[in-house]
Structure 1
Amino acid sequence: MTDCFIHTFPGEQIRLVNNPLEDLDDLQLATLGVEFIQEFYSFIQPLSADLMVVFRDTDWSAMSNIAPLLPHWYIQALSAPSNIILGAGFTNPDPQVSQAPQLSPEILFNWIKTALEQDCTNPDYRITWRIIHIYATRTRLFNEQEFQARQSLLLNSNAGELNIPIERLEDGLWVSGPVKETSIEPPVTFALSQEYGGLSADMMIHWSLWTQPGQPEQIALQDAISRLLNKGWEKA
Structure 2
Amino acid sequence: MLTQTSQLVLRILLFLILPALIQASPFIGLGILDTIEGLLGASNSSLATGLSVFLGDHGSVIFQNGLMDEKTNRTTTNCPRMAVIFARGTNEPGNVGILAGPPFFAAIAEYMNGTNQLAIQGVNYEAQPAGFFAGGSARGATMMATLINNTLATCPSTPLLLSGYSQGAQLIHLATSSLPSNTTSKISSIVLFGDPNNGTAIQGVDSTRVRTFCHAGDDICKGGDAVLKDHLTYAKDARTAAMWAMGSVAQLGITSMRMDRGIGS
Q: TM-score, normalised by structure 2?
A: 0.26
* More helix as a share of residues: 2
Q: TM-score, normalised by structure 1?
A: 0.28
* More strand as a share of residues: 1
RCO higher in 1 or 2 (8 Å CA, sep ≥ 6)?
A: 1
